Amino acid sequence: MWIPMLSLTALPHVGGIFGGIITRREVKTWYSTLNKPSWRPPNAAFPVVWTTLYTGMGYGSYLVWKELGGFTQDAMVPLGLYGLQLALNWAWTPIFFGAHKIQLALIELLLMSGTVAATMVSWYPISRTATLLMVPYMAWLCVATSLNYCIWRDNPEPKKED
């Protein structure tokens, strides 16, 4: 049982590593030019927070997987929702930092938050511990959404000339 536990716990980090590559380059260039709210966390906090959140959500997915006996018919909805929110999570960084689409990233973040909430609702009857492991993630998404909104509001996209 060590291999599934380690694999499912590590899975969220895969997208996080690729996102980190994009983010590292853009934080020093494009992101540094943006108007950001005074309350935003320091840049150094983000890798620590995401490493912690990815580990918690990954381990939570393992608990659900284990409780349901693997990738069974019963696991389709709770693990499917988890996979969807994870894909949305991984997509945010290329949208925001890669494509510099601040408004689209905000919309995507709202969709992700809804999918995380649905994941938590589906997990609750299966594993309360797994659900509780998602609570800090949901709290951080509230911070991230507020930050994304403020950056969008305070950095209007340049007008395209016809």
123-162 pLDDT per residue, tens: 999 999 999 999 999 999 999 999 999 999 999 877 776 6
Q: Is residue 159 part of a domain?
A: no
How far is it, in rounded angstroms, from Cα 91 to Cα 118?
18
* Structural domain boundaries, residue 87: 2-154
pLDDT value at residue 44: 92
pLDDT in tens, 81-122: 999 999 999 999 999 999 999 999 999 999 999 999 999 999
Check residue 69 and give left, alpha or beta (phi > 0: left; psi -120 to 50: alpha). Answer: left
Q: Is residue 8 part of a domain?
A: yes
Tokens matching residue 123: 């997990």
What torsion, rounded to 10 degrees, do the Cα atoms 128, 132, 137, 142 define?
100
How far is it, in rounded angstroms, from Cα 19 to Cα 27?
12
CATH number, domain with residue 54: 1.20.1260.100
Q: Is residue 132 part of a domain?
A: yes
In this model, does residue 39 exceed pLDDT 80?
Answer: yes
Q: Is residue 64 part of a domain?
A: yes
pLDDT value at residue 157: 79
How far is it, in rounded angstroms, from Cα 87 to Cα 47?
18
Q: Is residue 51 part of a domain?
A: yes
Q: Is residue 105 part of a domain?
A: yes
Q: Record the pTM.
A: 0.93
Q: Is residue 161 part of a domain?
A: no
Number of domains into which the chain is organized: 1
* Residue in 20, 31, 14 with CA at minimum distance from that of residue 147: 31
SS3 35: coil
pLDDT value at residue 73: 96
